[in-house]
């Protein structure tokens, strides 16, 4: 039991965590004042002039407070972490699902038809490297709604990995399997659903997994720009409030949610995987 | 117009090359298959055996010539022509049962779920796989995969079954077992089988006739060799049959010494040959066997 790999790995993880938090905690200790406070300092209530990153113990206490009531709503400037994350997730999932609805069928067509591949390839190659945030001004001007613009930015950044992976997966389905469909006189539609889709599914899911990761990266930046609600806005707002406890706490929450999204897609990927 | 079940006439395959001059794989290939016949085709690599088989399947378009089955020209793949591919071509995300059901459902779309399952299970038990219905191809050995593939092809009950070197990748023991299963199913279902092989012994064991091809380029079917050995044939006793080695030596001699010659195709049909006609008619079989014992069964492959 003690010898088993997962157990040893978990033990090592805990040791590393304790070590890191220990160093962080120690370095955050406010040194004892050796000199007496000046009059000014006394006026300022003895505040430390040197700003410090809060120690992990403070962050943990803050996290506990926030997580024990994640959905409170005390007006536009003070909402619980759960509400902020829910806003972000709503935007990410809406943009992502819309992108999947377009990318997967288009990817199918591009993958099945060399003509379509060559015709659409220049557009894909030019549009793909554009930073999604570069679309923001144009989106705001055209859509005239910050909420929808944020969703559009998610849409535009998650469409490419899904489109390219679907096209690649479909184009590389083994000729033998297509021949099996042909010798069984399957219609094009049935071939697409019974042979090509299951054959390309692992590649398509890989694209979907890359996309959800990018979408979650981009939503933070997009919400810092559009403001109002969401985890990205929350981080920036707490920075403006100089509440570093909240900033660090929300950074950790972004990581946790991103991990959960990836976990969901990777378990979906396991469902469609096959061994040759 | 003859009334053969399948008629191949003037078949040719030409690939254009970069230099501009065309590369003719085979040319003027003519043959007939009769209903219920088991025919093997044998020849050196590159003579276009697989391309001929793919043309019969409708997967490949000939440069010239035509394939006519039951009076209708073959214009594309059809469920009337089942194919067993060399690399099995099972769908890896489906269990062996689902792979067979895939074919059965395509063949009879209006069958009930139970009927499809029952029919598919029956063909899988014919090849001895009733214990592995739910296993995926990746969990099966090469021999078991090829059995699933054979079951899938036979289960759709095509009029013509095309087998592209189905036992090429199998070890000798497995190969023998599946050969017997193949003959068993074939004799039960009375389908017509056209099979590619590299193995002379396999061809003699299985076929009614063996087509031997001359070497490519410009290959052709040189001869149609009749296998005049009575059925049922047993893998372990067939070499004791009168004339077995005579037939075997004839085929090996062709492959080793004569396959490079250009066959005389002026008649438009391969020459019909029966190396055993002397034995089966009158002459004493005993002497023939004695003579042939000097030849070691596997010495001639070099």
Which candidate from A176, A185, A198 shows the least CB-CB separation from B79? A185
What is the 3-class SS of chain A, one letter each residue? CCCCHHHHHHHHHHHHHHHHHHHHHHHCCCCCCCCCCCHHHHHCCCCCCCCCCCCHHHHHHHHHHHHHCCCCECCCCCECHHHHHHHHHHHHHHHHHHHHHHHHHHHHHHHHCHHHHHHHHHHHHHHCCCCHHHHHHHHHHHHCCHHHHHHHHHHHHHHHHHHHHHHHHHHCCCHHHHHHHHHCCCCHHHHHHHHHHHHHHHHHHHHHHHHHHHHHHHHHHHHHHHCCCCHHHHHHHHHHCCCHHHHHHHHHHHHHHHHHHHHHHHHHHHHHCCCC
Tell me if A184 and B107 make a contact (CB, 8 A cut-off): yes
Q: Tell me how far apart the alpha carbons of residues A158 and A207 are, in angstroms, rounded to a whole number.
A: 9
Give the span between the Cα atoms of A204 and A197, in whole angstroms.
9
pLDDT for position A39: 74
| CATH topology for the B6-68+194-301 domain | Rossmann fold (3.40.50)
Verify cis geometry, omega within 30 degrees of 0, for the bond prior to B234.
no
Q: Where are the beta strands (DSSP E) in B200-291?
A: 209-213, 221-226, 271-273
In this structure, CATH architecture of domain A57-272: Orthogonal Bundle (1.10)
Q: A232-267 burial, b for 16+ CB within 10 Å, e for fewer? A: bbbbbbbeeeeebbbbbbbeebbeebbeebeeebee
A157 and A128 in contact (C-beta within 8 Å)?
no
A184, A186, A275 ranked by CB distance to B92: nearest: A275
Q: How far apart are alpha carbons A208 and A200 in whole angstroms?
A: 12
Those of residues 168-197 in A touching chain B at CB distance below 8 A are 176-177, 179-180, 182-186, 194-195
Nearest by CB to B91, from A177, A183, A185: name it.
Answer: A177
d(CA B68, CA B73): 4
| Adjacency order of strands within the sheet including B64-69 | B22-33, B6-16, B64-69, B72-73
Spell out the domain ranges in chain B.
6-68+194-301
Q: What integer pLDDT is reported at residue B163 of this predicted model?
A: 94
A271 CB near a chain B CB, below 8 Å? Answer: no
Cβ(B48)–Cβ(B36) under 8 Å? no
Q: pLDDT tens digit string along B70-85?
A: 989 998 999 999 999 8
Question: Within a 10 A sphere around the Cβ of A67, how many other Cβ atoms?
Answer: 13
Tokens of A82: 């759960």
- Chain A closest-CA separation from residue B110 CA (Å): 14
Picking from A169, A199, A180, A196, the residue whose alpha carbon sits closest to that of residue B88 is A180
Q: Are B30 and B11 in contact (CB under 8 A)?
A: yes
Instruction: Look at A183 and B81 and tell me if their CB atoms are within 8 Å.
Output: yes
Residue B156 near chain A (CB below 8 Å): yes
Query: Measured between alpha carbons, how far is B91 from A194 in angstroms, rounded to an integer?
Result: 10
Where do the structural domains in chain A lie, given as residue ranges? 57-272
Cis bond leading into B287, ω under 30°? no
Instruction: State which residue of chain A sits closest to B84, comparing Cα positions.
Output: A180
Q: Residues A49-97: pLDDT tens digits?
A: 566 788 888 899 999 998 988 888 888 778 889 999 999 999 999 999 9
Kindly report the number of other CB atoms within 10 A of residue A85's CB atom.
19
Taken in order B179, B181, B186, B187, is the CA torsion positive or negative?
positive
B292 contact partners, CB below 8 Å, separation of at least 6: B243, B244, B245, B246, B249
CA distance A184 to chain B (A): 5
**A195 contacts on B by Cβ (under 8 Å):** 91
Which parts of chain A register pLDDT below 70?
1-2, 30-37, 41-42, 44-51
Mean pLDDT of chain A: 91
Query: Quick check: A184 and B102 CB within 8 A?
Result: yes
Q: What is the pLDDT along chain B (302 residues), one digit of tens a residue?
A: 456 899 999 899 998 888 878 888 888 889 999 999 999 999 888 888 999 999 999 999 999 999 999 989 998 999 999 999 888 899 999 999 999 999 999 999 999 999 999 999 999 988 889 999 999 999 999 889 999 999 999 899 999 999 999 888 788 888 888 888 888 888 888 889 999 998 999 999 999 999 999 887 888 888 899 998 888 888 888 888 888 999 999 999 999 888 888 777 666 778 888 888 766 544 444 444 444 444 444 444 43
């Amino acid at each position: 039991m003690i010898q088993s790999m997962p157990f040893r790995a978990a033990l090592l993880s805990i040791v590393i965590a304790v070590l890191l938090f220990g160093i962080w905690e120690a370095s955050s200790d406010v040194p004892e004042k050796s000199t007496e406070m000046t009059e000014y300092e006394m006026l300022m209530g003895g505040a430390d002039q040197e700003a410090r990153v809060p120690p992990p113990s403070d962050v943990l206490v803050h996290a506990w407070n926030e997580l024990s009531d994640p959905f409170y709503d005390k007006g536009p400037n003070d909402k619980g972490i759960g509400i902020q994350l829910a806003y972000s997730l709503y935007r990410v999932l809406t943009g992502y699902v819309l992108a999947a609805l377009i990318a997967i069928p288009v990817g199918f067509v591009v993958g099945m038809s060399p003509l379509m591949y060559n015709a659409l390839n220049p557009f894909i190659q030019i549009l793909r490297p554009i930073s999604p945030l570069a679309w923001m001004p144009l989106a705001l001007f055209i859509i005239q709604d910050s909420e929808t613009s944020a969703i559009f930015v998610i849409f535009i950044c998650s469409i490419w990995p899904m489109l390219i992976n679907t096209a690649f997966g479909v184009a590389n389905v083994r000729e033998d399997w297509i021949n099996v469909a042909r010798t069984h006189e399957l219609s094009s539609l049935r071939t697409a659903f019974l042979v090509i889709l299951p054959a390309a599914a692992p590649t398509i899911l890989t694209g979907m997994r890359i996309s959800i990761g990018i979408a979650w990266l981009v939503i933070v930046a997009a919400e810092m720009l559009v403001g109002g609600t969401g985890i990205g806005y929350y981080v920036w707002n707490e920075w403006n409030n100089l509440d570093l406890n909240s900033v660090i706490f929300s950074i950790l929450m972004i990581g946790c949610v991103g991990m959960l999204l990836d976990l969901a897609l990777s378990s979906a990927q396991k469902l469609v995987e096959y061994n040759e | 117009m003859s009334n053969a079940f399948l008629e191949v006439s003037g078949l040719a395959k030409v690939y254009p090359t970069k230099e501009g001059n065309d590369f003719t794989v085979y040319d003027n290939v003519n043959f007939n298959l009769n209903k219920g016949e088991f025919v093997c085709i044998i020849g050196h690599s590159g003579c276009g055996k697989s391309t001929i088989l793919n043309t019969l399947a409708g997967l490949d378009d000939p440069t010239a010539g035509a394939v006519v089955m039951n009076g209708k020209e073959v214009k594309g793949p059809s469920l009337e022509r089942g194919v067993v591919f060399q690399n099995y071509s099972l769908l890896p995300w489906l269990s062996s049962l689902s792979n067979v059901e895939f074919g059965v459902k395509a063949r009879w779309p209006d069958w009930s779920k139970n009927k499809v399952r029952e029919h598919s299970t029956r063909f899988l038990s014919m090849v001895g796989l009733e214990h592995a219905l739910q296993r995926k191809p990746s969990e099966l050995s090469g021999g078991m995969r090829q059995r699933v593939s054979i079951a899938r092809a036979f289960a759709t009950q095509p009029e013509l079954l095309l087998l592209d070197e189905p036992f090429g990748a199998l070890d000798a023991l497995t190969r023998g077992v599946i050969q017997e299963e193949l003959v068993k199913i074939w004799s039960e279902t009375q389908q017509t089988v056209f099979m590619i092989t590299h193995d002379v012994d396999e061809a003699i064991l299985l076929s009614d006739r063996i087509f031997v091809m001359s070497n490519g380029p410009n290959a052709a079917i040189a001869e149609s060799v009749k296998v005049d050995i009575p059925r049922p044939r047993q893998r372990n006793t067939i070499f004791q049959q009168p004339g077995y080695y005579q037939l075997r030596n004839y085929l090996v001699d062709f492959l080793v010494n004569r396959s490079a010659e250009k066959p005389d195709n002026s008649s438009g049909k391969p020459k019909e040959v029966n190396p055993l006609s002397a034995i089966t008619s009158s002459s004493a079989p005993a002497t023939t066997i004695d003579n042939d014992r000097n030849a070691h069964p596997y010495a001639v492959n070099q």
